[in-house]
């Protein structure tokens, strides 16, 4: 019998006085680092553990030290705007900003963003403080708890980090996905063209 889905269970009925090999898919979630976890066989009839025979031990796994990481699964794009409609705004969305906290330290985290001024590559610019971001939703990838996580919004800067999301101490372990919206005001005197900015998103 085997289970390859991290949220499923096996309906296998282990007959008495028989031997069987079990294979399970393990999804690390809220596990403490440098800790060994043991897996027990439990009788569904009595609810008590079934002790292994002499010379055998409980199956176990040791959780190594993991990391805090950030991944972006889509681009941050704004809609085209006609200068006759300036200052706009022109809007856009971002999806699938993934946060993974596998450290097991329960210390929380902070995601922030800075960006360069928009430029068309030939000397024309739009100040980045015309661009605002609103983190509208955070969702759990598996069975994580989104309590204790605060979403941020505001105007971007070249030097002052804008809060995208913050997990308080004691929260934020596991896998999360953030979606949000963007809004850019176009100064009336802006030279028409294709503008881009370099955004830096940091997790710590």
Q: What is the pTM of this model?
A: 0.69
* Mean pLDDT across the chain: 88
Looking at residues 50-58, what average pLDDT do you find? 85
Nearest-angstrom CA–CA distance, 8 and 43: 19
Q: Residue 195 in contact with residue 119, Cβ under 8 Å?
A: yes
- Residue 10 pLDDT: 74
Say which range, 16-30, 92-106, 163-177, has the weakest mean pLDDT. 16-30
Question: CA-CA distances (angstroms) from residue 49 to 13, 52, 108?
Answer: 16, 9, 35
Left (φ > 0), alpha (ψ -120 to 50) or beta: where does 17 sit?
A: left
Give pLDDT tens digits for 61-116.
Answer: 887 767 889 998 777 788 888 888 889 999 998 888 999 998 877 899 999 999 99
**With 80 as the cut, is the pLDDT of residue 7 above it?**
no
Half-sphere CA count of 201, side-chain side, radius 13 A: 15
Q: Residue 65 in contact with residue 103, Cβ under 8 Å?
A: yes
In the chain, pLDDT over 90 holds for what percent of residues? 50
- Residue 35 pLDDT: 83
Nearest-angstrom CA–CA distance, 118 and 182: 14
Residues 6+ apart with CB under 8 A from 108: 148, 166, 167, 168, 169, 170, 171, 172
């Amino acid at each position: 019998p085997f289970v390859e889905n991290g949220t499923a269970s096996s309906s296998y009925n282990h007959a008495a006085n028989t031997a069987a090999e079990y294979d399970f898919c393990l999804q690390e979630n809220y596990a403490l680092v440098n800790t060994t976890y043991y897996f027990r066989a439990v009788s569904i009839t009595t609810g008590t553990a079934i002790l292994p025979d002499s010379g055998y031990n409980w199956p176990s796994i040791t959780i190594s030290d993991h990391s805090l990481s950030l991944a972006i699964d889509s681009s941050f794009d704004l809609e085209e705007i006609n200068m006759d409609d300036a200052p706009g705004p022109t809007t856009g969305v971002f999806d699938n900003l993934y946060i993974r906290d596998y450290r097991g330290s329960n210390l929380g985290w902070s995601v922030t963003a800075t960006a360069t001024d928009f430029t068309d590559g030939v000397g024309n610019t739009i100040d980045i403080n015309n661009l605002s971001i609103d983190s509208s939703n955070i969702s759990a990838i598996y069975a994580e708890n989104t309590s204790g996580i605060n979403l941020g919004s505001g105007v971007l800067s070249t030097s002052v980090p804008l809060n995208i999301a913050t997990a308080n101490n004691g929260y934020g372990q596991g896998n999360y996905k953030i979606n949000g919206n963007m809004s850019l005001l176009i100064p009336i005197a802006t030279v028409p063209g294709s503008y881009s900015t370099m955004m830096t998103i940091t997790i710590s």
